[in-house]
């Protein structure tokens, strides 16, 4: 397999990882605490796509694409519920309270998915259709191209909203300084709820994208929250662009090392590389942005 082919495969995987990391860092910035249920919310998005697929595939030629807006809306509603139950009642308390409450939410999601679907791996339908296309010397799956396109669209939409709209400026102000934002008349609680909804919607979209090629199980969230955490650490704690870049680098690293050696070796090497980064550049690639926020 050529380097170009591996790079394209890595970018497709990294695009889905980027949505996971993006949702994670958005909630981190708004709430000021880590949502340890985020990986399980990605899993829930994949399971939701699996559950809804039989009602779509019979009459829609591109079932995954039809499922995407449904998953986004329903997962946003789930994000609101998580914020109401696991964050808002505890936000005045030490951060460890939110850590524990979100871990509890993740356990509930895991056991709920196991009770409803069982423990076996399940696959969501492709966004468009199966098969491959030839791009010169490359043979690329249609699903990989669709993942790249959908992830780019969603990430671009988030950047446009945050940079060009009034609600986006309010969301950024809330993430940067909640007390000052409240003093300026911004409804901070509503902005935090909106951020939870957006971050969870993106987690659900990532679950839909990953569940076709890599399947989904009730326990898949643990690995995904670690990938999001690593991406944020590599990119710079609290940096939105850094989280996206970090996710892409993780996927390229995994695909490249797995092709040469094996996936377990790639996973071990990834954590070893993380340790090196923490020692050599603890602020991450976008460390200045993280320091300004702090």
pLDDT in tens, 114-139: 999 988 888 888 887 767 777 667 77
Residue 54 has pLDDT above 90, yes or no: no
CA distances from 55 to 52, 66, 72, 77, 122 (A): 6, 11, 17, 20, 16
Residue 283 domain-assigned (yes or no)? no
pLDDT at 287: 62
Q: 277: helix, coil or strand?
A: helix
Domain that holds residue 150: 13-219
Residue 263 domain-assigned (yes or no)? no
Among 154, 274, 158, 291, smallest CA distance to 226 is for 274
Q: 122: helix, coil or strand?
A: strand
Residue 265 has pLDDT above 60, yes or no: yes
Written as six digits, the tokens of 75 are: 């997962």
Residue 238 domain-assigned (yes or no)? no
Among 158, 32, 198, 194, smallest CA distance to 102 is for 32
Count of domains observed in the chain: 1
**DSSP class of residue 139?**
E
For residues 294 and 291, give the distance between their C-alpha atoms in angstroms, rounded to a whole number. 5
Residue 250 domain-assigned (yes or no)? no
193-202, 247-256, 285-294 — most confident range: 193-202
Residue 201 domain-assigned (yes or no)? yes
pLDDT at 129: 72
Residue 80 domain-assigned (yes or no)? yes
Residue 292 has pLDDT above 50, yes or no: no
Residue 287 domain-assigned (yes or no)? no
Which whole number is the average pLDDT over 38-62?
A: 86
């Amino acid at each position: 397999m050529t380097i170009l082919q591996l790079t394209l495969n890595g970018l497709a995987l990294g695009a889905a990882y980027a949505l996971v990391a993006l949702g994670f860092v958005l909630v981190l910035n708004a709430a000021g605490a880590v949502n340890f249920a985020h990986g399980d919310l990605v899993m829930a998005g994949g399971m939701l796509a699996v559950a809804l697929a039989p009602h779509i595939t019979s009459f829609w030629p591109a079932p995954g694409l039809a499922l995407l807006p449904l998953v986004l809306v329903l997962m946003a509603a789930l994000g609101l519920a998580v914020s109401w139950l696991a964050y808002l009642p505890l936000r005045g308390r030490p951060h460890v309270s939110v850590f524990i409450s979100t871990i509890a939410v993740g356990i509930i999601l895991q056991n709920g998915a196991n009770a409803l679907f069982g423990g076996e791996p399940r696959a969501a339908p492709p966004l468009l259709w199966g098969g491959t296309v030839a791009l010169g010397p490359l043979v690329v799956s249609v699903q990989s191209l669709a993942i790249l396109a959908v992830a780019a669209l969603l990430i671009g939409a988030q950047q446009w909203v945050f940079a060009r709209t009034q609600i986006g400026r309010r969301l950024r102000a809330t993430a940067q300084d909640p007390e000052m934002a409240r003093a300026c008349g911004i409804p901070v609680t509503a902005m935090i709820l909106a951020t939870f909804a957006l971050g969870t919607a993106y987690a659900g979209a990532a679950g839909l994208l990953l569940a076709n090629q890599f399947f989904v199980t009730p326990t898949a969230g643990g690995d995904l929250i670690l990938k999001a955490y690593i991406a944020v650490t590599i990119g710079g704690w609290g940096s939105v662009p850094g989280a996206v870049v970090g996710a892409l680098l993780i996927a390229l690293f995994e695909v490249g090392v797995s092709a040469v050696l094996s996936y377990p070796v790639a996973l071990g090497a990834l954590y070893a590389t993380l340790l090196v980064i923490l020692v050599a550049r603890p602020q991450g690639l976008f460390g200045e942005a993280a320091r300004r926020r702090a």
